[in-house]
């Protein structure tokens, strides 16, 4: 039977092992350098590229076969004697062997390729290495970066570009400290934001390789108490779902944003109270809390903090010694960048935002130089300098498209976006692309690579929400790939101006949504109090200099009356709640009972219920309420049992009094009935009102 030779070669040339050097013999010409050519398999030549190098008299080499997605397969038994050249692909079935001759001018090699008893001609021509070509293509890249910094008002950028296993550009542009004009460098530490997610996935992937984790086993197998709002999703969700954004939950970002008091476990437990907007795996919805949970899972499986696990499983093997997990730690480094934000056309420094709690989703800080090592690992199927750090199949699983995002492409040059595991996948002008950006207060970043072209990029910038990183990657890709040029940066600058003009008009129209001539239904002090949601936590409203203000997750924002019982957040240095609306609701008794806030745009407003006055749970105060009260028809005995009040009426079971609103106590066994104690100006109890649907019965205190 006549089998297709190319198919046989595709099966045999598959193994990846460390390069095995061979002893050389004296030679008249050198083969050191980059070679490109083909094995002439009938009907469809198999393109190959080979790199040879010599050190201390020993030859090493590697072959890449793009059609088989094989990169840097190590060569063995490399021999050069006079014009004769021979070598093998190491540890591949069929003993694939090249035997040929170097041309008299040293520019070509031709001969026979043999594998598994079949022989085909091959030819190679000496050429410039892809890295050298790519580096030459970037001759005018610096000018593009400078133009981008200026037109998009970005203080500084750090860039690293990798071709294969070689860093072809690593440089800082602009300023890391705009006020002092301190230059950005390739070693400057900046926040990478959500590009941190891939590090969490990589660390979990290491546990998969070690047999300690299965991507598709339910999370509850590893964390038995884990619970989501939807009981069915609770039982089905897996670690793979955590890192694919298909949990069914929308972002719910204000649960963690600036939350400086909750632990990671606290936030994972809050998931039980956060409603979803879709079923598990129904659609893609970006969710940082799921990556927080993935990081917490890493902690449970390793017995280490997420930071320590990532440091040992990722940073240490990659030699990323200065990369860290906290902006506080960044500021202790000798070379770090300050964060900036543009406001009304002015670039201003902003405070660092500490997001350590949600670290697995976005708290890593690094430099372009150290991040280039991260890119090299992803371009080399999980290896760094020939050392395997993770299984090739595991890293491929991260890069593979798993869940369509449903987002339309932003440009005809960009293909449909599909999420992998900690990475987005799409195409750029027909070239497969894997990437993830990062945006956190004062910083914007992008890590991106073209796996089939063996090219990777890191761009770190120090301006909040800037598109510059993505634009520079596109520009550099066009240069290296020799694609028709497009002035991405000029277009973005023009769109920025248009967007600012549209934004100003929209800001002016905001007032049209306000109903004039209204006033609050209560005195301002009646709105003050503590409110609570089991998923989002505490929200405190208080009076400050005669005006209402509120604090949520350590961010305090003043409030101004908008209309009716709705108040609007005032503009302050921390803009999170600028223009945000709080709407207060009263209960049937006329007490302010809750406040609603649009904390998750894809869901109805989040309702925070008002907490009773804390003194209603104070045993010292409750002790003063003990006694016998007479309504005229019956007597009620109030006693303190432990830390709660109890009411006894002759002939009836004891009733539990639960703190309620307006200083009243609700009868637990009859929630429609409450008790309000009346005190004199010295705090002495005079009487109590028994409030029922049928009337209010006064009860005078006669003893106690």
Regarding whether 177 and 59 lie in a shared domain, the answer is no
CB-CB neighbours of 131 under 10 Å: 20
User: Looking at the domain assignment, is residue 40 inside a domain?
Assistant: yes
Kindly give, in sequence order, each residue whose CB lies less than 8 Å from that of residue 235, ignoring residues fewer than 6 positions away: 218, 220
User: Looking at the domain assignment, is residue 509 inside a domain?
Assistant: no
Give the whole-angstrom CA distance, residue 475 versus residue 275: 42
User: Of 592, 610, 628, which one is at a domain's C-terminal end?
Assistant: 610
Question: Is residue 538 exposed (0-12), middle (13-18) or buried (19+ Cβ within 10 Å)?
Answer: middle
- In this structure, of 205-209, 236-240, 257-261, 408-412, the range with the lowest mean pLDDT score is 408-412
CB crowding 79-116: b at 16 or more within 10 Å, else e = bbeeeebbbbbbebebebbbbbebeeeeebbebebbbe
Using an 8 Å Cβ cutoff, are 679 and 686 in contact?
Answer: yes
65-92: average pLDDT: 92
- CB-facing half-sphere around the CA of 278: CA atoms within 13 A: 16
Higher pLDDT among residues 57 and 547, named by residue = 547
Helix or strand run (H / E) with residue 144: helix 141-151
The CATH number of residue 593's host domain is 2.40.128.50
Give the whole-angstrom CA distance, residue 219 versus residue 203: 16
Tell me what pLDDT residue 14 has. Answer: 37
Task: Please check the confidence at residue 346 and state whether its pLDDT lies above 60.
Answer: yes
Regarding whether 441 and 323 lie in a shared domain, the answer is yes
Higher pLDDT among residues 599 and 8, named by residue = 599
Task: Please check the confidence at residue 19 and state whether its pLDDT lies above 70.
Answer: no
Tell me what pLDDT residue 4 has. Answer: 42
Give the whole-angstrom CA distance, residue 336 versus residue 334: 6
Task: Please check the confidence at residue 696 and state whether its pLDDT lies above 70.
Answer: yes
Regarding whether 339 and 206 lie in a shared domain, the answer is yes
User: Looking at the domain assignment, is residue 507 inside a domain?
Assistant: no
Task: Please check the confidence at residue 69 and state whether its pLDDT lies above 90.
Answer: no
Rg (CA), the chain: 33
Identify the band that residue 398 occupies on the pLDDT scale cut at 50, 70 and 90: very high
Residue 364 sits at the vertex; the CA angle it makes with 385 and 428, to the nearest 5 degrees, is 65
Using an 8 Å Cβ cutoff, are 658 and 668 in contact?
Answer: yes
Identify the band that residue 499 occupies on the pLDDT scale cut at 50, 70 and 90: confident
Give the whole-angstrom CA distance, residue 355 versus residue 259: 8
Give the whole-angstrom CA distance, residue 669 versus residue 435: 58
User: Of 610, 642, 675, which one is at a domain's C-terminal end?
Assistant: 610
Regarding whether 621 and 597 lie in a shared domain, the answer is no
Residue with tokens 């090699």: 109
Task: Please check the confidence at residue 282 and state whether its pLDDT lies above 70.
Answer: yes
Task: Please check the confidence at residue 38 and state whether its pLDDT lies above 50.
Answer: yes
The tens digit of pLDDT for each residue in 126-179 reads 999 999 999 999 999 999 999 999 999 999 999 999 999 999 999 999 999 999
The tens digit of pLDDT for each residue in 351-389 reads 999 999 999 999 999 999 999 999 999 999 999 988 999
Q: Is 341 strand, coil or helix?
A: strand
198-205: average pLDDT: 98
Task: Please check the confidence at residue 281 and state whether its pLDDT lies above 70.
Answer: yes
Tell me what pLDDT residue 20 has. Answer: 39
Tell me what pLDDT residue 23 has. Answer: 40
Regarding whether 232 and 173 lie in a shared domain, the answer is yes
Give the whole-angstrom CA distance, residue 578 versus residue 559: 10
Helix or strand run (H / E) with residue 234: helix 231-236
> Which of 488, 452, 462, 493 has its CA nearest to residue 473?
488
Regarding whether 350 and 482 lie in a shared domain, the answer is yes
Give the whole-angstrom CA distance, residue 269 versus residue 258: 18
Task: Give the number of domains in the chain.
Answer: 4
The tens digit of pLDDT for each residue in 214-250 reads 999 999 999 999 999 999 999 999 999 999 999 999 9
Regarding whether 396 and 260 lie in a shared domain, the answer is yes
Identify the band that residue 3 occupies on the pLDDT scale cut at 50, 70 and 90: very low
Q: Is 337 strand, coil or helix?
A: coil
Give the whole-angstrom CA distance, residue 307 versus residue 294: 13
Backbone angles phi, psi at 610, to 5 degrees: -75, 135
Identify the band that residue 501 occupies on the pLDDT scale cut at 50, 70 and 90: confident
559-575: average pLDDT: 93
CB-CB neighbours of 214 under 10 Å: 14
Coarse DSSP helix, strand, coil percentages of the chain, rounded to the nearest 5 percent: 25, 35, 40
Q: What is the residue-averaged pLDDT of the chain?
A: 93
Identify the band that residue 2 occupies on the pLDDT scale cut at 50, 70 and 90: very low
Share of the chain above pLDDT 90, in %: 86
Tell me what pLDDT residue 699 has. Answer: 94
The tens digit of pLDDT for each residue in 577-609 reads 999 999 999 999 999 999 999 999 999 999 999
Backbone angles phi, psi at 324, to 5 degrees: -145, -175
Tell me what pLDDT residue 653 has. Answer: 92
The CATH number of residue 205's host domain is 3.40.710.10
Regarding whether 643 and 621 lie in a shared domain, the answer is yes
Higher pLDDT among residues 400 and 17, named by residue = 400
Regarding whether 540 and 400 lie in a shared domain, the answer is no
Using an 8 Å Cβ cutoff, are 530 and 611 in contact?
Answer: yes
Helix or strand run (H / E) with residue 119: strand 118-127
Regarding whether 474 and 347 lie in a shared domain, the answer is yes
User: Looking at the domain assignment, is residue 511 inside a domain?
Assistant: no
Kindly give, in sequence order, each residue whose CB lies less than 8 Å from that of residue 641, ignoring residues fewer than 6 positions away: none
Backbone angles phi, psi at 455, to 5 degrees: -125, 135
The CATH number of residue 21's host domain is 2.40.128.120
Give the whole-angstrom CA distance, residue 163 versus residue 161: 7
Residue with tokens 């019982």: 565
- pTM for the model stands at 0.89
Domain of residue 70: give its range: 5-127
Give the whole-angstrom CA distance, residue 554 versus residue 552: 5
Give the whole-angstrom CA distance, residue 593 versus residue 583: 11
> Which of 417, 422, 430, 419 has its CA nearest to residue 378?
422
Question: Is residue 346 exposed (0-12), middle (13-18) or buried (19+ Cβ within 10 Å)?
Answer: exposed
User: Looking at the domain assignment, is residue 301 inside a domain?
Assistant: yes
Residue 447 sits at the vertex; the CA angle it makes with 441 and 452, to the nearest 5 degrees, is 165
190-191 and 365-366: which strand pairing? Answer: antiparallel
Kindly give, in sequence order, each residue whose CB lies less than 8 Å from that of residue 311, ignoring residues fewer than 6 positions away: none
Tell me what pLDDT residue 447 has. Answer: 98
Regarding whether 625 and 542 lie in a shared domain, the answer is no
User: Looking at the domain assignment, is residue 136 inside a domain?
Assistant: no
**HEC assignment per residue over 439-489:** EECCEEEEEEEECCCCEEEEEEECECCCCHHHHHHHHHHHHHHCCCCCCHH
Identify the band that residue 571 occupies on the pLDDT scale cut at 50, 70 and 90: confident
Residue 614 sits at the vertex; the CA angle it makes with 608 and 616, to the nearest 5 degrees, is 115
Regarding whether 18 and 150 lie in a shared domain, the answer is no
User: Looking at the domain assignment, is residue 508 inside a domain?
Assistant: no
User: Looking at the domain assignment, is residue 221 inside a domain?
Assistant: yes
> Which of 616, 619, 701, 702 has its CA nearest to residue 665?
616
User: Of 610, 630, 660, which one is at a domain's C-terminal end?
Assistant: 610
Listing DSSP states for 525-570 in one string gives HHH-EEEEETTTEEEEEEEETTEEEEEETTEEEEEEEEETTEEEEP
> Which of 125, 372, 405, 137 has its CA nearest to residue 245?
405
Residue with tokens 């997605």: 69
């Amino acid at each position: 039977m006549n089998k297709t030779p190319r198919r046989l070669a595709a099966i045999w040339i598959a193994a990846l092992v460390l390069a095995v050097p061979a002893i050389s013999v004296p030679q008249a010409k050198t083969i050191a350098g980059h070679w490109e050519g083909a094995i002439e398999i009938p009907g469809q030549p198999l393109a190959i590229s080979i790199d040879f190098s010599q050190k201390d008299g020993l030859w090493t080499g590697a072959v890449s076969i793009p059609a088989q997605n094989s990169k840097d397969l190590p060569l063995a038994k490399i021999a050069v004697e006079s014009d004769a050249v021979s070598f093998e692909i190491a540890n591949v079935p069929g003993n694939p062997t090249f035997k040929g001759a170097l041309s008299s001018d040293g520019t070509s090699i031709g001969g026979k390729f043999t594998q598994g008893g079949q022989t085909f001609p091959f030819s190679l021509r000496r050429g410039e290495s892809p890295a050298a070509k790519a580096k030459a293509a970037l001759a005018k890249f610096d000018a593009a970066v400078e133009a981008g910094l200026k037109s998009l008002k970005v203080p500084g950028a750090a860039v690293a570009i990798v071709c294969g296993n070689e860093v072809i550009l690593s440089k800082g542009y602009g300023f890391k400290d705009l006020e002092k004009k301190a230059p950005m460098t390739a070693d400057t530490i900046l926040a990478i934001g959500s590009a941190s997610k891939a590090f969490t996935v990589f660390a979990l992937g290491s546990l998969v390789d070690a047999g300690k984790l299965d991507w598709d086993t339910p999370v509850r197998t590893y964390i038995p108490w884990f619970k989501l709002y939807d009981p069915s999703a609770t039982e089905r969700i897996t670690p793979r779902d955590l890192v694919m954004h298909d949990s069914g939950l929308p972002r719910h970002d204000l649960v963690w944003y600036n939350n400086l008091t909750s632990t990671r476990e606290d936030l994972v437990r809050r998931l039980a109270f956060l409603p979803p907007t879709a079923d598990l795996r129904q659609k893609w919805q970006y969710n940082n809390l799921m990556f927080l949970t993935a990081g917490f899972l890493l902690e449970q499986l390793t017995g280490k903090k997420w930071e320590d696990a990532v440091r040992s499983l990722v940073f240490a093997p990659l030699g990323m010694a200065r990369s860290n997990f906290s902006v506080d730690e960044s500021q202790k480094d000798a070379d770090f960048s300050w964060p900036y934000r543009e406001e009304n056309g002015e670039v201003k420094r902003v405070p660092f935002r500490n997001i350590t709690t949600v670290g697995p989703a976005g708290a890593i800080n690094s430099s372009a130089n150290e991040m280039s090592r991260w890119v090299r690992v992803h371009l080399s199927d999980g290896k760094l300098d020939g050392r395997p750090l993770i299984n090739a199949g595991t890293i491929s699983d991260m890069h593979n498209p798993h869940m369509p995002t449903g987002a339309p492409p932003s440009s005809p040059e960009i293909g449909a976006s599909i999420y992998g595991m900690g990475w987005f996948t799409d195409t750029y002008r027909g070239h497969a692309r894997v990437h993830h950006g990062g945006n956190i207060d004062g910083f914007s970043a992008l890590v991106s690579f073209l796996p089939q072209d063996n090219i990777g990029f890191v761009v770190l910038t120090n301006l909040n929400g800037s598109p510059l990183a993505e634009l520079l990657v596109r520009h550099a890709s066009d240069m290296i790939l020799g694609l028709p040029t497009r002035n991405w940066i000029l277009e973005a600058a023009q769109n920025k101006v248009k967007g600012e003009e549209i934004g100003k008009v929209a800001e002016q129209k905001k007032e049209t949504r306000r109903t004039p001539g209204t006033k609050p239904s209560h005195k301002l002090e009646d709105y003050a109090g503590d409110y609570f949601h089991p998923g989002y936590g505490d929200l405190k409203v208080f009076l400050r200099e005669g005006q209402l203000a509120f604090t949520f997750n350590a961010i305090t924002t003043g409030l101004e009356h908008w209309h009716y019982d709705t108040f609007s957040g005032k503009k302050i240095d921390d803009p999170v709640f600028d223009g945000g609306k709080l709407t207060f609701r009263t209960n049937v008794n006329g007490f302010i009972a809750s406040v609603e806030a649009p904390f998750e745009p894809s869901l109805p407003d989040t309702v925070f219920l008002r907490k009773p006055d804390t003194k209603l749970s104070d045993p010292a105060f409750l002790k003063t309420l003990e006694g016998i009260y007479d309504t005229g028809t019956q007597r009620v005995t109030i006693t303190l049992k432990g830390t709660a009040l109890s009411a006894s009426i002759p002939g009836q079971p004891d009733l539990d009094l639960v703190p309620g609103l307006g200083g009243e106590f609700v009868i637990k066994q009859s929630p429609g009935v409450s008790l309000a104690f009346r005190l004199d100006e010295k705090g002495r109890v005079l009487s109590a009102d028994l409030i029922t649907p049928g009337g209010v019965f006064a009860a005078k205190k006669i003893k106690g």
